[in-house]
Amino acid sequence: MSTFKKKEVNTMADKQDSAYKLTAEEYKKIKDEMEVRLSDLQQKIIKAKIPVIVLFEGYATSGKGSAISSLILNLDPRGFEVHTTRRPNETEERLPWLQRFAVRAPELGRIAVFDRAWYSGLTWVGADQGEQEMLPYLEDINTFERQLAADGVVLIKFFLSIPKKEQKKRIDKLKEDKNTSWRVTKEDERQNKHYEQTERFYKAMITVTDTPYAKWHVIYAKDRRYTRAQVMQTVAEALEAALANPPKADVEGPVQPKVSDRFHLLPAPRIEDVDLNQVMTREEYTEKLDALQDELSELHNVLYNKKIPVVIAYEGNDAAGKGGSIRRVARALDPRGYTVHPIAGPTPTEKAHNHLWRFYTKLPRTGHIAVFDRTWYGRVLVERVEHFTPTWRIEEGYQEINEFEYMLHKWGCVIIKFWLAIDKDEQLRRFQDRQNTPSKQWKITDEDWRNRDKWDQYVEAVDDMIKYTNTNFAPWTIVEADSKYFARIKTLQTVIDSIKKRLGK
Amino acid sequence: MSTFKKKEVNTMADKQDSAYKLTAEEYKKIKDEMEVRLSDLQQKIIKAKIPVIVLFEGYATSGKGSAISSLILNLDPRGFEVHTTRRPNETEERLPWLQRFAVRAPELGRIAVFDRAWYSGLTWVGADQGEQEMLPYLEDINTFERQLAADGVVLIKFFLSIPKKEQKKRIDKLKEDKNTSWRVTKEDERQNKHYEQTERFYKAMITVTDTPYAKWHVIYAKDRRYTRAQVMQTVAEALEAALANPPKADVEGPVQPKVSDRFHLLPAPRIEDVDLNQVMTREEYTEKLDALQDELSELHNVLYNKKIPVVIAYEGNDAAGKGGSIRRVARALDPRGYTVHPIAGPTPTEKAHNHLWRFYTKLPRTGHIAVFDRTWYGRVLVERVEHFTPTWRIEEGYQEINEFEYMLHKWGCVIIKFWLAIDKDEQLRRFQDRQNTPSKQWKITDEDWRNRDKWDQYVEAVDDMIKYTNTNFAPWTIVEADSKYFARIKTLQTVIDSIKKRLGK
């Protein structure tokens, strides 16, 4: 199908309407064919576990609803959802702007139909604050769509275009009937009045977000039958192309992390070069603990008041003391302002989504603190060592994670990342202690022992992880954790320092 | 533990503070003991798959946050969530008021800690509209808590009480520090000013909602250590009691639906007595279809405009034509204003909740239409026939469903329920047709044939279902579906009539 850039169909004046029109008969023929073809394709998509997004954007009154109808009435409702988009509510406003769309991404084999979705925000930004404000949003959109596509999501984006006069006619008609007049918003009328400006805006938007992985299909939507037929045909062709596209074969061999030079990476030590054997007496510990908890407690109030969100990510060797360290941080916090998210293996639903999806669902609201006990770094740790994920996807993971954290950073989030490191002998001592203490036995599993057997592979994975994700906006802190006291104090102190830095204190 | 009614601890004036106070030493002893006991109990609760709700309500500044902390710091974060409560956002305001709490009920084996939750609404209602307005909410709460308890949810409710003077002191102290002053709301100050009125309000609330399945534990919370100790001990005792309580044994035998006479049941025919063989010509069908779809299309606008929600529930024999009938309704609707929810067997997450939970997550917003292809009646149909659920829980299901629908009705929802009935021979013809037509084969499964073998048991279950849930606010419509044309027109007509009735047309 045509893209905006190639055909410039959006410049209406010189278009012959007759080329974008269907008779009732012509339409009926296409529709009947499509009913069978789309229904059949949907079954194949389900079987092939291909996730699909069909997105509709366009001028007010351009017929997005009718176009969506023509598509979904051919589909089995067990395989799709329709997501309409309104302005964000208060809860959504306290999360990164893409969050509410990211969590609605389709599972494997499902079709998500979006009415406007992440492009709607642009219009509001454009209308409320001026067009130049939309650049950071466009950047987020392209990153987001590229990440979806990397997982095999088929992205089909429609832009429905109608000329100024036609829009005016439709608005007037809606306003005449009291049962439809409420559908016309002030924004719609403003759009028609400033049609030329809107057109420039949309052109820029489409140009920048028309990418190889997420093309725009611009439809001249004056004729409803023509529009519906175009939508059905385009979707059918895109699904057929996706089904014909064989899944990318994995290549065996060492993982070579891929990161763009878009982000500045800070130098970082290798775990092997860090002296893990730091010492702290019980006395020093209790004294410092108390003072630091008081300080953090007060900072929590300030954060809440200033509505600054905080993410604290804990990674580390098994038995390195993450739980005990998290508890010392948690004790200083108001339970209504923080959540600890323990991260285990993904559930089937989580597995059917992008690897970052389950973290989008757990982001803190502004002013809140989210503590992750294990994190999105599972992608480049356990998934890498255990070969749960194809090598090429792992390699892309580093960049995806940097982008995810950059999104949090832009949103205003303080990001604190810990690697709690213990040496191999210390781990053995702790494993044995857990096994010999009845009340601690639930803490140790066969998996812990299996992981231990892969110690060297983990060291390699951790070194790569720190090297390629040690950005200036989300730096790693390596915590020498052979001494629990030392580790707890260092994490607490780091949390406090990071927050104070953000507060300019 | 004491309940409000028995001890009247809420009348502060005559209390000796010394009886509700702990020294640092006394507290430390309890705390150390509790750390082990609660942590151990949590592991047992997880194993026994017991869901737990711990809810905190109380006067402003009574220390709910600190009390929650003292509890959760003893728990493994992999087993609990804390839910704080604010005023409902715009999305939540367009759903039944309990919805946002119902969807947060804990899964089997998990502990949900609620800060205020469904009682917070009462305070706002009381403050905004006068106390008598809270009665319908109290009714909803008792129903909701009873339904949770029926599934084995352990409900532990705390009310933290402090005297007027103490509250004043705490408010003043918070206001002194600029990092905490924002915590004091106008409502808090109003509460202190009108303390006596607040006390009357809380007394009434506690009295009415102190039930055998959801007792209140009122704590005189002037001393923080005493409060924390009380909370830990009460939770420990409640968990121990729950663990000691053996699961209710199921009794074999015929299902005897239990419904209270709280709702008025309309008389209903038995399926066997309905003449399913209605006839409609293709001509009559196409003519009526077009007119009815136009009419429904217009009504959809009115519904949207008046923000009236609609639930359309489709049940029926396998192959009775639910899908085709739903599609004829859907064609008349704007896709941005309705959703079709196909209901299959529950997922593991859904199974770990009350049977109505997964429907709470799918309710329409005001002004929207939710169409259910199979429904919450699975409880008294497939679960009854296949013995998926203990008999006594099935028997309670009828009343629970009536209550669920009554909640929707009170909220302003139009409820339309269809049973699409075909006779046994007609079903055989359709099954064979599906099996012989390649494009329809995915529609027929072995399960359909197995269900057919249980035809008589289903007839019995359907008769009971209609008899015991045919309320005047959510009546059943039996659709004679041997003729697909007739059935589609009848469902469309019924949808239109029900909406018009609601609109007073």
Q: Has this prediction a pTM greater than 0.90?
A: no
Return averaged pLDDT per consecutive 10 residues of chain A, 505 residues in all: 40 62 94 93 95 97 94 89 90 93 95 94 68 82 95 96 96 91 90 91 91 95 95 97 88 89 92 92 95 95 94 97 94 92 92 96 96 97 95 96 96 97 95 88 88 95 97 97 97 98 92
Contact, B278 vs B482, CB < 8 A? yes
Selection from A419, A430, A428 nearest residue A476 by Cα:
A419
Instruction: Please name the member of B39, B78, B344 whose beta carbon is closest to the beta carbon of A342.
Output: B78
CB contact under 8 A, B439 and A82: no
User: Which sign, positive or negative, has the C-alpha torsion A385, A387, A388, A392?
Assistant: positive
Q: What is the structure's pLDDT at A14?
A: 45
pLDDT of residue B319 exceeding 90, the answer is yes
Contacts of A36 in chain B (CB under 8 A): 439
| Order of all β-strands in the sheet with A216-220 | A80-83, A111-115, A52-58, A154-161, A216-220
Q: Quote the Cα angle for B174-B177-B179, to 5°.
A: 95
- Axis crossing angle, helix A164-176 with helix A186-193, rounded to the nearest 10: 150
Summarize pLDDT for B394-434 with one digit per residue, the tens.
999 999 999 999 999 999 999 999 999 999 999 999 999 99
Q: Across the interface, do A335 and B72 touch by the CB < 8 Å criterion?
A: yes
pLDDT digits (tens, 9 = 90+) for B19-69: 899 999 999 999 999 999 999 999 999 999 999 999 999 999 999 999 999
- Residue A13 is predicted with a pLDDT of 43
The CA distance from A406 to A259, in Å, is 13
- Each residue of B310-319: b (16+ CB within 10 Å) or e? bbbbbbbbbb
CA B375 to chain CA mean position, Å: 14
H-helix or E-strand containing B253? none
d(CA A335, CA B67): 9
Q: Return the pLDDT at B426.
A: 95
Residues of chain A in contact with residue B38, where contact means CB-CB under 8 angstroms, are none
**Letter for the amino acid at B104?**
R
Nearest CB to A82: which of B182, B301, B339? Answer: B339
Q: Which two tokens stand for residue A10?
A: 């959006």
Residue located via tokens 């895109």: A238
Angle at A305 between CA A302 and CA A311, to 5 degrees: 70
Contact A305 B179 (CB under 8 A): yes
Identify the CA nearest to A32 among candidates A24, A21, A42, A43.
A24
* CA–CA gap between residue A94 and residue A413 (Å, rounded): 11
Element (H, E) at A316: strand A310-316
Residue B14's pLDDT band, with cuts at 50, 70 and 90, is very low
Region of poorest pLDDT, from A444-448, B247-251, B355-359? B247-251
CA–CA distance, A324 with B133 (Å, rounded to integer): 47
Contact between A257 and A464 (Cβ < 8 Å): yes
- Return the pLDDT at A16: 64
According to DSSP, the β-strands at A310-316 and A369-373 are parallel
- To test the contact with chain B by mutation, choose from A87, A176, A286, A340 the residue with the greatest count of B C-beta atoms within 10 A, namely A340
Q: What is the least distance, in Å, from the CA of B90 to any CA of chain A?
A: 6
Annotate A358-393 with b (16+ C-beta within 10 A) or e (fewer).
bbbeebbbbbbbbbbbbbbbbbbbbbbbeeebebbb
Say whether B344 and A78 touch across the interface (CB within 8 A): yes
Instruction: Say how far residue A328 (Cα) sits from the centre of its chain.
Output: 30
Report phi then psi at A75, rounded to 5: -110, 150
Instruction: Indicate yes or no: CB of A335 within 8 angstroms of CB of B179.
Output: no
| H helical segments located in A390-483 | 391-411, 424-436, 446-453, 455-469
Q: In chain A, which residues have their Cβ closer than 8 Å to the Cβ of B439? A: 36, 39-40
**Phi, psi dihedral angles at A247 (to 5 degrees):** -60, 140
Task: Give B89's contacts in chain A (Cβ within 8 Å).
Answer: 89-92
CB under 8 A, 24+ apart: contacts of B375-380:
B375/B313, B375/B314, B375/B315, B375/B343, B375/B417, B376/B313, B376/B401, B376/B404, B377/B313, B377/B315, B377/B401, B377/B465, B377/B469, B378/B343, B379/B355, B380/B257, B380/B461, B380/B464, B380/B465, B380/B469
Tokens standing for residue B94: 């367009």
Distance from the B179 Cα atom to the nearest Cα atom in chain A, whole angstroms: 6
Give the C-alpha separation, A159 to A146, whole Å: 19
Closest to B356 measured CA to CA, from B14, B31, B18, B99: B99
Alpha-carbon dihedral sign for residues B230, B232, B233, B236? positive
B77 interaction partners in chain A (CB closer than 8 Å)? 323, 326, 340-342, 373
**Contacts of residue A82 in chain B, CB cutoff 8 Å?**
335-336, 339
Interface membership of A91 toward B (CB under 8 Å):
yes
E-assigned strand segments in A139-294: 154-161, 216-220
Q: How many CB pairs under 8 A join A and B?
A: 99
Task: End-to-end CA distance of chain B: give it in Å, rounded.
Answer: 55
Q: Under a CB-based contact definition with an 8 Å cutoff, are residues A457 and A465 in contact?
A: no
Please give the Cα distance from B416 to B312 (Å, whole number).
5
CA A139 to CA A85: how far, in whole Å? 20
pLDDT digits (tens, 9 = 90+) for B93-128: 999 999 999 999 999 999 999 999 999 877 766 666
Position B15 confidence tier, pLDDT thresholds 50, 70, 90? low
Chain A contact for B300 (CB, 8 A cutoff): no
* Per-residue model confidence as pLDDT tens digits over B423-467: 999 999 999 999 998 878 888 889 999 999 999 999 999 999 999
DSSP-derived secondary structure letter, A471: B
Give the span between the Cα atoms of A340 and A338, in whole angstroms. 7
Q: CB contact, 8 Å: A73 with chain B?
A: yes
Among A328, A336, A369, A442, the strongest candidate for a mutation testing the B interface, having the largest count of B CBs within 10 A, is A336
Residues from chain B that touch A373, judged by Cβ atoms under 8 A, are: 77
Secondary structure of residue B220 in the 3-state scheme: strand
- What is the pLDDT, as a whole number, of residue B505? 85
B331 in A contact zone (CB under 8 Å): yes
Please give the residue that has the higher pLDDT: either B495 or A443.
B495
Which residue in the block uniquely carries the two structure tokens 């109290």?
A: B138
Q: Which of B160, B298, B301 should be substituted to probe chain A, the one whose Cβ sees the most A Cβ atoms within 10 Å?
A: B301
Question: Helix %, strand %, coil % for chain A, to 5?
Answer: 55, 10, 30
Contact A179 B302 (CB under 8 A): yes
Q: What is the pLDDT of residue B3?
A: 37
By C-alpha distance, which of A310, A463, A436 is closest to A381? A463
Q: 3-class secondary structure for B97-159?
A: CCHHHHCCCCCCCCEEEEECHHHHHHHHHHHHHCHHHHHHHHHHHHHHHHHHHHCCCEEEEEE
Q: Taking the mean position of all CA atoms in its chain, how far away is CA B394?
A: 17
Tokens 């007839």 found at: B459
- Whether the ipTM is more than 0.85: the answer is no
| B97 neighbors B119 (Cβ within 8 angstroms) | no
Closest to B68 (Cβ–Cβ): which among A335, A344, A373? A335
Amino acid residing at B262: R
